[in-house]
Chains A and B, each alone.
Chain A
Amino acid sequence: MPATQSQFLEVQGLQIEASINVPGEARKTLRLVDNISFTLEKGKVLGLIGESGAGKSTIGLATLSYGRGGCNITGGKILLDGEDILSLSAAEVRNIRGTRIAYVAQSAAAAFNPAHRIGDQVIEVAIEHNLMSKAEALAYANVLYEKLGLPDPQHFGQRYPHQVSGGQLQRAMTVMALCAKPDLIIFDEPTTALDVTTQIEVLATIKTAIVDTGVAALYITHDLAVVAQVSDHIMVLRNGKMIEYGDTDKIINHAVQEYTQNLVSVRTLEKPEIADPDTSAILQVKHIDAAYDGVNKILKDVSLHLHAGQTLSIVGESGSGKSTLARVITGLLPQLNGEINFAGTNLSTNLSGRSKEQLRELQMIYQMADVAMNPRHTIGQIIGRPIEFYFGVKGAENRRQTIDLLDQIELGEKYFDRYPAELSGGQKQRVCIARALAAKPSLIICDEVTSALDPLVADGILQLLMDLQLKHNIAYLFITHDIATVKAISDSIAVMYQGSLVRFGKKSKVLAPPFDDYTQMLLASVPKMELGWLERILANRKMQSADN
């Protein structure tokens, strides 16, 4: 083969199309990926970045010569060591997959078979392709477990997927990819489903693994700050087209295209802190204990308060009890001890014990806008229902008020008769905001409302929420794991860890030293959009025992 070592993977003018076939309509062809070219050397990492729908994963899978359900590679070449893998037969492609190119999926929890031991799944490829004997493969896997800092490497492979944490499973998947000693690994959003404190460990191990084994890697993510830490080159994608392609320093510090600049400068939103008014707080949570089974406390002695028209952010990792606190406040989960004061009255622990007026004053916005709206109701019905339910407004007047709300969320009348499935993720979340707003509440609980959205879209939602707060004097209880969001919108912050309140106070106090250990770690773990951040953090902090 004529290929030189320097151009190990070469993609030329890749074009991918999908045909959709709705019964009763003509067949339509969508171009998902349009004229993408890049090269990759051994030992280098190329970051593919873009919003959802940009075609990142489709390109990643195409380098495995694989088109997901209905996607067809209709043009271009993918040269692996000079050999066009798109022209290979199915059997030859099978030989390349796993052995020369490996894939690390986004959700390790869903990618592992829960019925088999991790070790058996990790060495499967190597054995299937007769690369190693079983004993050799197991031994090599053990070496890799150790290299990636997994606990008890000699026995790690004997565990089942549910017996290890999410971060460990994601590292085990990297081991699986490395086990057959491939030349190229595709990482498809490997840290997106992880908490920031876990993400940093996984990022570090992925980086060491790439350096140690000298493989080439494609790193797919929507988080520019993450990709800046691991890759040598970055390609910015949008709607299947290349926006910008260059080395990491150029993209982060000297981006040419406006879209890239927006991505880099996202989250510059900053809300000035408002001093507490003299009036008593609108929401007071006093010494709350809560448990789902009545025994194991998820919340331990949580007390906080929130003033009208202000924003309180609750931060913490998954499992810290943030969402449980929201369930207690809304009355879905009766607390064991403690009480909740809302607008001067005591809230009943049970949903059925609360008056319609109390229900109206306290609205909620969910993380997944997809499932928070009935897919069989039109947008008009979804937003109009609270108006009819709480205020008895029907018919033309209801329609007028609903359209008014649609205007406030910047969607407009044309969306009135549409169904949720016809909207994009950000638009859906806007409709959920309008539904909450329709009840004219004084407090809205926002449960991770932006975490399922792309950064630019999320920014728009946060901006909208802040505008509405000023206009209607609504208080927000904002639950999130994203520190950047917290900094942008809060007046006060509560940090939670394993069901307890670690830190609570005004934003300026909580985010200023001296920190407690946990808050320190949380703040330090948030990826910064600068080169070499990961190395500095790791140098600063000794890798604590690798058991999280």
Chain B
Amino acid sequence: MINKTVRSVASHLSWGAKIGLICLIIFSLAAIFAPLVAPYPQDEILGEVWEPISSSYWLGTDQLGRDILSRLIHGARNTFFIAGAATLLSFFMGTFLGFLAAVSGGKVDQLLSRSNDLMMAIPTLIFALVVLSVLPSSMLVLIFVMGVLDSTRVFRLSRAVAVDIVVMDYVEAARLRGENSLWIIFREILPNALSPLFAEFGLRFAFAVLFLSTLSFLGLGIQPPDADWGSMVKENKDGIVFGIPAALIPAAAIAILTISINLVVDSILSRTSSLKGGR
């Protein structure tokens, strides 16, 4: 039964999506079982600075002599969890408020949209720096700040998508039936807005990974010696001048992650938009 479901899902995915899905599964497994999979602890100095790829250090060592593969595997936890949670939070907030603005219209729409504009007027990075330097540095605060700041973009997208849907006859039919706003948001609009939101999710997640690395670099994100992929790029970037590829490895990991997510999302997109005649 389960085997059958898996096979039917797999048959609907394009080959690109299958590759993406496999990469994501490998990354997730590595993140979940990090202490078991990683050959060394993430914060132990093992060898020389920037050692090349060898049989003992599969991906070489970093600027302090730590094993890059081990840091990559441990860093996946932080990167996945924080960027993922922040993106999810931003989507929950952004879409709900965006749909609410579109459904309510008038004053509610103006209030929400203009406050959103106000938030967007302040450069995100500076806003984040100010808030994070005041608040205690914990993972939850980090997720919350990143999520709220990112939700402004999601708000704009979801409002724009919903404004188009709100004028459809089936939404009018629901209103004439006397349905309340929550029903209209979750049952009439949401299912029809999923495709553009999915697409945006893939993109936003990639941005969240990069934003997290920026914050880490400035000392407000993940605190050393904990690893995350973005900060590993920053730490090792000086090596590039000397022809040392250490920075490119975590960068490649970020690239593979982003591409994988987008491959999977694209496939979901073409599937949802073709079969049920929706957007």
Q: Which residues of A contact B (CB under 8 A)?
A: 22-24, 330-332, 351, 354, 356, 359-360, 363-364, 366, 368, 371-377, 385-386, 389-390, 419-421, 435, 439
Within 8 Å of chain A (Cβ to Cβ): is B188? yes
Closest to B169 in A: A372
- B12 and A23 within 8 A (CB): yes
List, in ascending order, chain A residues with CB within 8 A of B13's CB: 23-24
- B172 and A23 within 8 A (CB): no
- B11 and A24 within 8 A (CB): yes
Instruction: Given A374-B188, A386-B177, A389-B178, answer yes or no on A22-B172 (Cβ-Cβ < 8 Å).
Output: no
Report which of A368, A389, A439 forms a contact with B169, defined as CB distance below 8 A. A368
- A356 and B178 within 8 A (CB): yes
- A22 and B173 within 8 A (CB): no
How many Å lie between the Cα of A429 and that of B12 in the bound state?
31
List, in ascending order, chain B residues with CB within 8 A of A351's CB: 175-176
- B12 and A24 within 8 A (CB): yes
Report which of B178, B191, B267 forms a contact with A374, defined as CB distance below 8 A. B191
How many Å lie between the Cα of A24 and that of B11 in the bound state?
5
Within 8 Å of chain A (Cβ to Cβ): is B179? yes
Chain B, 1-40, CB within 8 A of any chain A CB:
11-14
How many Å lie between the Cα of A331 and that of B179 in the bound state?
14
Please tell me which stretch of B99-107, B230-238, B271-279 contacts chain A, meaning at least 4 of its Cβ atoms lie within 8 angstroms of it.
B271-279
- B176 and A359 within 8 A (CB): yes
Give chain A nearest CB distance to B198 CB in angstroms: 14
Report which of B11, B178, B192, B278 forms a contact with A359, defined as CB distance below 8 A. B178
- B169 and A366 within 8 A (CB): yes
| Sampled A-B contacts (14; CB under 8 Å) | A23-B13, A23-B267, A332-B175, A360-B178, A363-B176, A371-B169, A372-B173, A374-B187, A374-B188, A375-B192, A376-B278, A385-B177, A421-B278, A435-B173
Given A372-B170, A389-B179, 18 more contacts at CB 8 Å?
A23-B13, A23-B267, A23-B270, A24-B11, A24-B12, A330-B176, A332-B175, A332-B176, A359-B178, A366-B173, A371-B168, A375-B278, A377-B187, A389-B177, A389-B178, A420-B277, A421-B275, A421-B278
How many Å lie between the Cα of A375 and that of B14 in the bound state?
24
B227-263 vs A, Cβ < 8 Å mask (1 yes, 0 no): 0000000000000000000000000000000000000
- A419 and B276 within 8 A (CB): yes
- B191 and A421 within 8 A (CB): no
List, in ascending order, chain A residues with CB within 8 A of B276's CB: 375-376, 419, 421
How many Å lie between the Cα of A372 and that of B169 in the bound state?
4
Give chain A nearest CB distance to B176 CB in angstroms: 6
User: Chain B's interface: helix, strand, loop or mixed, by majority?
Assistant: helix
List, in ascending order, chain A residues with CB within 8 A of B275's CB: 22, 419, 421
List, in ascending order, chain A residues with CB within 8 A of B267's CB: 23
How many Å lie between the Cα of A390 and that of B178 in the bound state?
9
List, in ascending order, chain B residues with CB within 8 A of A420's CB: 277
List, in ascending order, chain B residues with CB within 8 A of A366's CB: 169, 173
List, in ascending order, chain B residues with CB within 8 A of A364's CB: 173, 176
Closest to B279 in A: A375
- B271 and A23 within 8 A (CB): yes
Instruction: Given A371-B170, A386-B177, A389-B179, answer yes or no on A23-B14 (Cβ-Cβ < 8 Å).
Output: yes
How many Å lie between the Cα of A330 and that of B191 in the bound state?
26
List, in ascending order, chain B residues with CB within 8 A of A356's CB: 178
B157-200 vs A, Cβ < 8 Å mask (1 yes, 0 no): 00000000000111011011111000000011001100000000
- B192 and A374 within 8 A (CB): yes
How many Å lie between the Cα of A371 and that of B167 in the bound state?
10
Chain B, 38-59, CB within 8 A of any chain A CB:
none
Closest to B172 in A: A332
- B177 and A439 within 8 A (CB): yes
List, in ascending order, chain A residues with CB within 8 A of B175's CB: 332, 351
Closest to A362 in B: B176
Give chain A nearest CB distance to B105 CB in angstroms: 13
How many Å lie between the Cα of A24 and that of B270 in the bound state?
12
How many Å lie between the Cα of A30 and that of B179 in the bound state?
42
How many Å lie between the Cα of A395 and that of B176 in the bound state?
24
How many Å lie between the Cα of A22 and that of B13 in the bound state?
11
How many Å lie between the Cα of A435 and that of B271 in the bound state?
28
Give chain A nearest CB distance to B7 CB in angstroms: 11
- A375 and B173 within 8 A (CB): no
Report which of B168, B177, B270, B277 forms a contact with A419, defined as CB distance below 8 A. B277
List, in ascending order, chain B residues with CB within 8 A of A331's CB: 176
B56-87 vs A, Cβ < 8 Å mask (1 yes, 0 no): 00000000000000000000000000000000
List, in ascending order, chain A residues with CB within 8 A of B191's CB: 374, 376-377
Give chain A nearest CB distance to B184 CB in angstroms: 10
How many Å lie between the Cα of A332 and that of B173 in the bound state?
11
Closest to B270 in A: A23
List, in ascending order, chain A residues with CB within 8 A of B177's CB: 359, 385-386, 389-390, 439
List, in ascending order, chain B residues with CB within 8 A of A22's CB: 274-275
Give chain B nearest CB distance to A448 CB in angstroms: 12
How many Å lie between the Cα of A420 and that of B276 in the bound state?
8
Closest to B193 in A: A376
Indicate the member of B12, B178, B179, B187 with the most A CB atoms within 10 Å: B178
How many Å lie between the Cα of A435 and that of B170 in the bound state?
11
Closest to A368 in B: B169
- A375 and B277 within 8 A (CB): yes
How many Å lie between the Cα of A303 and that of B123 in the bound state?
58
How many Å lie between the Cα of A173 and that of B168 in the bound state?
31
How many Å lie between the Cα of A261 and that of B233 in the bound state?
77
Give chain A nearest CB distance to B144 CB in angstroms: 32
How many Å lie between the Cα of A360 and that of B187 in the bound state?
20
Closest to B274 in A: A22
List, in ascending order, chain B residues with CB within 8 A of A385's CB: 177
Give chain A nearest CB distance to B91 CB in angstroms: 18
How many Å lie between the Cα of A54 and that of B256 in the bound state?
49
Give chain B nearest CB distance to A252 CB in angstroms: 37
How many Å lie between the Cα of A374 and that of B168 in the bound state?
9
- B12 and A374 within 8 A (CB): no
Report which of A23, A330, A360, A421 forms a contact with B277, defined as CB distance below 8 A. A421
How many Å lie between the Cα of A420 and that of B173 in the bound state?
15
How many Å lie between the Cα of A165 and that of B271 in the bound state?
41
How many Å lie between the Cα of A368 and that of B172 in the bound state?
13
How many Å lie between the Cα of A332 and that of B171 in the bound state?
12
List, in ascending order, chain B residues with CB within 8 A of A359's CB: 176-178
List, in ascending order, chain A residues with CB within 8 A of B277's CB: 375, 419-421
List, in ascending order, chain B residues with CB within 8 A of A23's CB: 12-14, 267, 270-271, 274
Give chain A nearest CB distance to B161 CB in angstroms: 14
Give chain A nearest CB distance to B146 CB in angstroms: 31
How many Å lie between the Cα of A374 and that of B192 in the bound state?
8
Give chain A nearest CB distance to B208 CB in angstroms: 28
Give chain B nearest CB distance to A325 CB in angstroms: 15
Interchain residue pairs A-B with the least CB separation, the first 5: A421-B277, A376-B191, A24-B12, A372-B169, A375-B278
Give chain B nearest CB distance to A114 CB in angstroms: 20
List, in ascending order, chain A residues with CB within 8 A of B187's CB: 374, 377
Give chain B nearest CB distance to A363 CB in angstroms: 8
How many Å lie between the Cα of A420 and that of B12 in the bound state?
21
Give chain A nearest CB distance to B195 CB in angstroms: 11
How many Å lie between the Cα of A419 and that of B274 in the bound state?
12
How many Å lie between the Cα of A364 and that of B169 in the bound state?
10
How many Å lie between the Cα of A420 and that of B14 in the bound state?
26
Give chain A nearest CB distance to B123 CB in angstroms: 37
Give chain A nearest CB distance to B248 CB in angstroms: 34
Give chain B nearest CB distance to A45 CB in angstroms: 37
